[in-house]
Amino acid sequence: MGEFRNNIAHSVGNYGLRIFHGHEPPQVAYYEDHLSYRCGKNGVMGGDLGRVVFRNITVADNANSGIEFERIHLSPDEIDVCHAIDLVVIGRSNGNPGKSTHGIVAP
User: Count of domains in the chain?
Assistant: 1
Successive 10-residue mean pLDDT values, the chain, 107 residues: 87 92 82 94 88 92 88 68 87 71 80
What's the one-letter identity of residue 75? S
Selection from 80, 34, 83, 78 nearest residue 60 by Cα: 34
Looking at residue 79, what is its pLDDT? 62
Looking at residue 14, what is its pLDDT? 94
pTM for this predicted structure: 0.84
**Residue 3 three-state SS:** coil
Q: Whole domain around residue 55: which residue ranges?
A: 4-105
Looking at residue 34, what is its pLDDT? 97
